[in-house]
Structure 1
Amino acid sequence: MQNRIEYAARIQPTSRQLAVQDMEFYAFIHFTVNTFTDMEWGTGKEDPALFNPAELDADQWVEACVSAGMRGLILTCKHHDGFCLWPSKYTEHSVKSSPWRGGEGDVVREVAEACRRGGIKFGIYVSPWDRHEPTYGDSPRYNQFFLNQLRELLTGYGELFCVWFDGACGEGPNGKRQEYDWEAYYALIRELQPGAAISVCGPDIRWCGNEAGHCRESEWSVVPASLRENEAIQEKSQQTDDREFARRYSSSEEDLGSRSVILSERELVWYPAEVNTSIRPGWFYHASEDDKVRPLAELLHIYYGSVGGNATFLLNIPPDPRGLIHENDRQRLRELGEVLRATFKTNLAAHAHIAASETMPGSDAANMLDGDQNTYWCPEEGTEYAVIEVDLGSEQEFDHIVLAEHRYGQRVERYELEYREGGAWKPICRGTVIGRKRICKFPAIRSRYIRITILESRWCPNISAIEVYRGVD
């Protein structure tokens, strides 16, 4: 058993996985003909003349993202209806057949360039399901068509941080269900955009399992390799335009990486989770939802559960028919960013003193306070229990503690936080995984001393950061 635990502890991410995990929080932009038909899923029969966002301003989209603290944007370049937001050479069902910009426009280009100007990364969503394309269902012909369109997107818009797929699938005009050539899609992405993560129906970033913003208490990045293949199975994805889907998740899949799971699996992989949900009930804009933008408290709850729970947070923001992010959505995004910036502005432990019960030679406890995610503290190999004490130097009031493991592994299985009052240690909270980041939020405490006990870990814990904050009221 010990060999299996050490094996799990030594599983590491790739550079492209690390790059996405370091982004933490980024945007989805759902925008197409559906925006003008008030639908969630198009039929593929929509007239391109419907698409005419007269005030489209990609810089405004990026500004809204930046105001919330997002570091990237993923654009739905083609949804299930098959309408392309770029002038594809392989179909007339695109912006080139619309009145927008006199048929000379390219939404993908405008958004990619706005992201570069705004200092955030750009990624693409492209739906393999195409309800317009007549070759869909003729699997070899459609796969070549899809690869041709994918090549256009991979070569025409600069560096991409992500290519985001879902597994939605249907029957073509011939009555046959399309079989996607995922391996060919992946190979083309690796060839043309080697730094891009292939997300959800792909080998780099996995779907959290729901679209409701539900976050697992224990989100493991090290999971069974079989999970990576399962994500490309279309039955795992939506099959109808069903609003209830966004509110469902399977409790039977809550545990993906505990000891009991990894000990029964032959192969493990690094496959971190992404929590994706929309700022509104729908993924595309609907005027009837202008007063249904998620409350700030709800968005904060999802942020703490995802970014603060070893996952990334992909929040959808749907532009309206003007081609603008609606005022209500922009206001909520600003509010979210203001709270996050104010909460995590001043690290009260930046100049603290720290000591650990066990320390590997050359791995100083002070590494946990140096602000460098590439340095860390660890005890001797095989030490799965350890105690860390932080002296803030004076009594401070705090209500957030942020913990982080070394970014090249995930080992902690259970921990406990305490503070000292008088001569006694009193509990703050207990938790399970830490991973890239664990944000512990609790009612405000006033104390000089904090104790972190690693109760269980794999092989030995590697802790990179301990930060302490006082949030805004």
Structure 2
Amino acid sequence: MRTPEEQIRYAASITPSLRQLAWQQLEFYAFTHFGMNTFTNREWGDGTEDPALFNPDALDADQWVAAVKSAGMKALILTCKHHDGFCLWPSAYTEHSVKNSPWKDGKGDVVREVSDACRRGGIKFGVYLSPWDRHDARYGQGKPYDDYFVSQLTELSTNYGDIFCFWFDGACGEGKNGKKQIYDWERYYAVLRKLQPNAVLNVCGPDVRWCGNEAGHCRKAEWSVVPAELRDAERTASKSQQADDGKFSRKIDSQDEDIGSRAVIRNARELVWYPSEVDTSIRTGWFYHPEEDTDVRTAGELLDIYLDAVGANASLLLNIPPDTHGRIAAADCASLAELGAKIRQIFADNVTEKAEITADSAIAQHPITQAVDGMANTYWQAAYGQESDTITLKFPELQKVSCVVLGEHLPTGQRIESGEIWADGSKAAEFTVVGHKRICRFTPVDVQTLTIKITASRTEPTLRLLEVYQ
């Protein structure tokens, strides 16, 4: 058993994989729930739907990508198969797919169109594939269904280029035979590691964890270093949506608000890097419903969610569901474009270059200037033995500021636990963990001396990112 001091040093030594680092840098990306439910006006289909129902008359994946990019999102994940088992690509392993729909006379492939549009648009493409399949008779039979599911994972992994993410939710209801499938997660992971080694495996996967709700709520202290048991896919599944009641998307559960503090990790035998993803929808539902056209989240609401998630060491996965024509609705596009404009406005003018910047301590190889040079691989580190430190920015004249952005150098671990921001001797803000990014917003102040106090750190703090905005 490690001593408390050894345990904290151990926690500070946990670092992300290269695939996790690449994912973290995306920060904000899209979900698109599209499929049979779009045409039946449901959230969960039962697998008995006629493929003839699927027939978008104006599907335009480039329009989806343009809408996503207008908000500043850098990737898109498509629901290639939802719980109803209907496949948006012409799978060789089932008849329940677009190949038996009237869309494009059965010769269409939504996955192809969307993955190609993402590449044309310069964003990354990801796959959602529901393990729960309410159509296939093999579901609940064990290996026969796992073989089928792995065959579909293989199709998607080999036919559509590089995939940045495979997203698995925890849905595990009964199949046609009244039985539930016991998913062979380790087998699924092994196949994907072989075929798409750079892809992150999210939620019911070992790379990125679910924040625990679908309302866009992020913890006050969102640690990336957590006990290894949180990687248990069945544990995640038990907390996921269990019924098609339409209320889960706005529910926030206060349990497990603290999953990575010193107290929580004190007795953990194994710790892992398992960062958080916040997922929510621009509408109440995940699929398009015409009655929700007047219930689209405003740009202001989305901005608050963005700042709370991306600004608290999580990524944000925002769902935008295409309509029955195969297009993102006008109201959704308008909110996304306005959101993008608001984000660009907040982060338009970084004034750190106007300031003289100093730190109370630093090691020679990593001076404080490396926190503001805009390089991802350079960073400031406090002197050895320091678990707190102070950084001071002095402006030549009064400077109006309202936002400070901090980011640790993750290849050396997540270390910072708390801090404060002071403007000319008055406290302007407090913060907890930093991790990939911490956005601290406060009432605009005219300041000549801005001080960032790191009040607690698990070992010597680092910063690869320090930005100050008007």
**TM bucket normalised to smaller:** over 0.9
Task: Tell me, yes or no, if the aligned pair for 2:205 and 2:233 is still in contact at 8 Å.
Answer: no
Q: 1:336 aligns with which of 334, 339, 361?
A: 339
SS at match of 1:430: strand
Cα deviation, 1:400-445, whole Å, max 9, x if unaligned, reads 111111122211111000011xxxx111011111111111111111
| CA displacement 1:28-87 (0-9 Å, x = unmatched) | 000001101110110100111010111000000000000000000000000000000000
3-state SS, counterpart of residue 151 of structure 2: helix
Partner of 1:46: 49
Do 2:34 and 2:321's aligned partners in 1 also have CA atoms closer than 8 Å? yes
Alignment partner of 1:396 out of 399, 411, 414: 399
- What is the deviation of 1:380? 2.2
Q: Secondary structure at the match of 2:10?
A: helix
Aligned counterparts of 2:373 and 2:176: Cα–Cα separation in 1: 60
Q: Distance in 2 between matches of 1:235 and 1:101?
A: 39
> SS where residue 334 of structure 1 aligns?
helix
Are the aligned partners of 2:404 and 2:439 in contact in 1 as well (CA < 8 Å)?
A: yes
When the two structures are superposed, what TM-score results if normalisation uses the length of structure 2?
0.97
Given that 2:277 and 2:316 are in contact with CA atoms closer than 8 Å, whether structure 1 keeps it comes out as: yes
2:187 is matched with 184
Corresponding residue number in structure 2 for 1:217 = 220
The answer to whether 1:371 aligns with 2:369 is no
Query: C-alpha separation between the residues in 2 aligned to 1:161 and 1:283?
Result: 21
* CA displacement at 1:461 relative to structure 2: 0.5
Maintained 8 Å contact 2:203/2:236: no
Q: Which amino acid aligns with 2:453?
A: T
**Contact persistence 2:416–2:433 (CA under 8 A):** yes
Q: Per the alignment, in what secondary structure is the counterpart of residue 38 of structure 2?
A: helix
Cα distance in 2 for residues equivalent to 1:308 and 1:96: 43
**1:173-231: per-residue Cα shift (whole Å, max 9, x none)?**
33221111100000000000000000000000000000011111110000110101155
How far off its partner does 1:268 sit? 0.5
User: 1:419 corresponds to which residue?
Assistant: 423
Matches within 5 A, 1:17-36: 17-36=20-39
Q: How does 1:67-466 map to 2 (within 5 A)?
A: 67-230=70-233, 233-408=236-411, 409-420=413-424, 425-466=425-466
**1:104-152 residue CA offsets vs partner (Å, 9 max, x unmatched):** 0000000000000000000000000000001111111000010011100
Relative distance call for 1:264 and 1:379 in structure 2 (3 A) is same
Q: CA deviation at 1:395?
A: 1.6
Give the length in aligned residue pairs: 466
1:350–1:467 Cα contact (<8 Å) kept? no
Structure 2 gaps of 5+ residues are none
Report the TM-score when normalising by structure 1. Answer: 0.97
The structural deviation recorded for 1:365 is: 1.0
Task: For 1:43 and 1:332, locate their aligned partners in 2 and report how far apart those are by CA, in whole Å.
Answer: 32
CA contact (8 A) 1:206 1:231 kept: no
What is the CA distance between 1:20 and its match in structure 2?
A: 0.9
CA–CA separation in structure 1 for the residues paired with 2:177 and 2:450: 66
Task: Give me the CA root mean square deviation.
Answer: 1.1
Displaced runs of 4 or more, over 6 A: none
**Greater Cα offset, 395-404 or 217-226:** 395-404
> What runs of 5+ residues in structure 1 fail to find an aligned partner?
none
Amino acid at match of 1:419: A
Secondary structure of 2:301's aligned partner: helix
Asked if the contact 1:348–1:392 (Cα under 8 Å) also holds between the matched residues in 2, the reply is no
Give, as a single letter, the amino acid of the residue that structure 2 aligns with 1:454. I
| Letter paired with 2:355 | A
Distance 2:409 2:47 in 1: 47
d(CA) in 2 for partners of 1:59 and 1:172? Answer: 36
Asked if 2 retains the 8 angstrom alpha-carbon contact of 1:202 and 1:231, the reply is no
Q: Secondary structure of the residue that 2:57 maps to in structure 1?
A: coil
| Structure 1 residue 249 displacement after superposition | 3.1
Q: Percent identity between the aligned chains?
A: 56
CA distance in 1, matches of 2:383, 2:313: 25
Give 1:236 deviation, angstroms: 2.3
CA distance in 2, matches of 1:404, 1:91: 47
- Aligned equivalents of 1:298, 1:322: Cα separation in 2: 27
1:260-304 Cα offsets, whole Å, 9 max, x none, are 111121111000000000000000000000010012221111101
Match of 2:232, SS state, is: helix
CA contact (8 A) 1:54 1:323 kept: yes
Instruction: Look up the SS of the partner of 2:213 in the other structure.
Output: coil
Q: How far apart are the structure 2 equivalents of 1:70 and 1:231?
A: 30
Matched letter for residue 452 of structure 1: I
Aligned partners of 2:176 and 2:372: how far apart in 1? 61
Q: CA deviation at 1:318?
A: 0.2
Amino acid of the structure 2 residue aligned with 1:258: S
Partner in structure 1 of residue 69 of structure 2: 66
Q: CA–CA distance in 2 between the matches of 1:392 and 1:154?
A: 52
> Residue type matched to 2:331 in 1?
N
Distance 2:397 2:197 in 1: 49
* Aligned AA (2:430): R
Q: Answer with 42-51 or 170-179: which moved more.
A: 170-179
